[in-house]
Amino acid sequence: MDVAEWLRGLGLEQYEPAFRANEIDERVLPSLTAEDLKDLGVILVGHRRRLLDAIAALGAAVPATPSRDPTVRADAQRRQLTVMFCDLVGSTELAGRLDPEDLREVIAAYHGAVADLVGNLDGFVAKYMGDGVLVYFGYPRAHEDDAERAVRAGLGLIDAVGRLDVKSVELQARVGIATGLVVVGDLIGEGSAQEQSVVGETPNLAARLQALAEPDAVVIAAGTRRLVGDLFEVHDLGALEVKGIAVPVPAWQVLRPSTVASRFEALRGSALTKLVGRDEEIDLLLRRWARAKAGDGQVVLISGEPGIGKSRIVAALAERLHAEAHLRLRYFCSPYHQDSALYPFIDQLGRASGFARDDSAAAKLEKLEAQLARAAPQDEDVALLADRLSLPAWERHPLPNLGPQRKKERTLEALIRQLEGLARLQPVMTVFEDAHWIDPTSRELLDLAIERVRSLPVLLIVSSRPEFQPPWIGQPKVSMLTLNRLDRSDRTDLIEQLAGGKALPDEIIAQIADRTDGVPLFVEELTKSVLESGVTPLGIPTSLHDSLMARLDRLGSVRRVAQTGAAIGREFSYELLHAVSRLPEDELQTDLARLVG
């Protein structure tokens, strides 16, 4: 199959270079997901939808051959999995009073709502069981935030089912979620009854928690609770007696997403370890701040892989500047709002204005007006920004009658004028985090801001992963700060700092330093795991499983070579790998080139 010709047939030939550069061939194409398409630069939702539909059609065109052996294995894998079990409340009572055809329509609408929500979050519907649905997050594709995705899906499901309008029936759902190690991928059954099984305690725990949940409630187990940190507001249900499990199980009901804006703070907490090995980087940021304060605006792009310490170094700079008179503005991109225009800026305005969950529209308008007044805005600016916050028009600041494109342009200018007005009052440190998740409109505004801050007392810090490559790199007053991995001495210092007064054996410190490869997050999590459990040899902490598996899954067809090498050890010869992998020489050479390239 010619992938380039396939793209041209869809009228999407503009993506041919990205597909070719990322080696998307006929073997990889059928497994592409919405997240993959975003990574390939397919920003427009309509284009992603067309591609996903066409990819689904490719799969449907190849009939599956049922296994004749009910015990056949289909690449079973040991994985950390977040399992969601959801159930339609009162389905037995519904079956007693509805005609079977009407009940079928209700169940179909419920299944459709589940499938849409799970699909949007790149989960996997493993099985429909009448009014119950079993869902996996972390298989067949892992993400660094699978537990969070599952909880968001659960909350969304409760809301979506409650809003279904089918046969004038009021519907409710309940959800149980658990995270743990399983073996997934074995094919069991035959023909149309064939399915991929999961072996482990996790699916059973999710199902039991669902059964204990109240209507319209999402209940999570301890493993999931640890992974989501403070991303959600929860109610502690204590330890529950669960059928089939010998000891009481701690559980929490998830209420809603939390108001903590920073993912770093929500997941890592406010108690930060001392910054290690970043003295030169902090010195550079302080020098750029000194120039910015003097009116010579500066931009710094902090780039690095996940867990390398981008947010930590920004927090350290904020600590150093705490005593100085300045204004700090913080904007956070989100992997869940990449299609929401201006999300980081609208979110920041709401936080800065002090919006409360139960505020009326009028109260929010008053708070917004007071917040914007600091920069002495034009009446039109207040109206445009209130409109972006979905607040009604008001007499004091009438909304101009503009077309969509002109309204967007004027809104971007209003946000830029806000920054300029605040910079006239005092120096500003603006932090724009996780720019690799930026939405297209915010990208336009960021590019515009880069131009304007150069003549203002503003230090604009943008943090991102390496895939974010903006056009303004290399321009005057723009500095690139790439964070490298810690050297062995710094790793050891960090381990000893984390250990506090507890003396770890030298061989354990050496193992941690070797296995974490200088990624600060890995050093912290593995050290904490050893301190908490005392278990050696060292295992992978649960907090890192999803992140590491997501990296492995992104390798696609070369994943098996990486797994084979990992099973052999940290060092091995090419000859040994060739013998164990049993791959043809040319295929192995190609896979190794992709892994080390």
Convert the pLDDT of each residue in 1-16 to its tens digit: 788 888 887 888 888 8
Closest CA to 175 of 216, 146, 147, 145: 216
Comparing 23-37, 165-179, 417-431, 465-479, which segment has the lowest mean pLDDT? 23-37
What are the angstrom distances between the C-alpha of 469 and each of 16, 287, 302, 333, 426? 19, 24, 11, 16, 30
**In this predicted structure, what is the pLDDT of residue 62?**
37
CB 292 within 8 Å of CB 457 = yes
Q: Is the pLDDT assigned to residue 189 strictly greater than 70? A: no
Q: What is the tens place of the pLDDT at every residue in 79-100?
A: 899 999 999 998 888 888 888 8
Q: Is 410 helix (H, G, I), strand (E, B) or coil?
A: helix
Under the banding of pLDDT at 50, 70 and 90, the label for residue 196 is low
User: 288 vs 568, which has greater pLDDT?
Assistant: 288
**Alpha carbon distance 494, 492 (integer Å):** 5
Under the banding of pLDDT at 50, 70 and 90, the label for residue 563 is confident
Comparing 76-80, 408-412, 515-519, 530-534, which segment has the lowest mean pLDDT? 530-534
Closest CA to 229 of 305, 147, 299, 306: 147
- pTM, two decimals, is 0.82
Q: Is 173 helix (H, G, I), strand (E, B) or coil?
A: strand
CA 593 centroid distance within chain:
28
**In this predicted structure, what is the pLDDT of residue 414?**
95
Comparing 11-20, 118-127, 553-562, which segment has the lowest mean pLDDT? 553-562
The torsion defined by the Cα of 7, 9, 12 and 14, in degrees rounded to 10, comes to: 70
**In this predicted structure, what is the pLDDT of residue 70?**
38
**Alpha carbon distance 204, 185 (integer Å):** 17
**Alpha carbon distance 463, 308 (integer Å):** 11
**In this predicted structure, what is the pLDDT of residue 68?**
33
**Alpha carbon distance 168, 187 (integer Å):** 40
Q: What is the mean pLDDT of residues 303-321?
A: 95
Which domains, and CATH codes, for the chain? 3-61 (1.10.150.50), 77-258 (3.30.70.1230), 269-482 (3.40.50.300), 488-596 (no CATH)
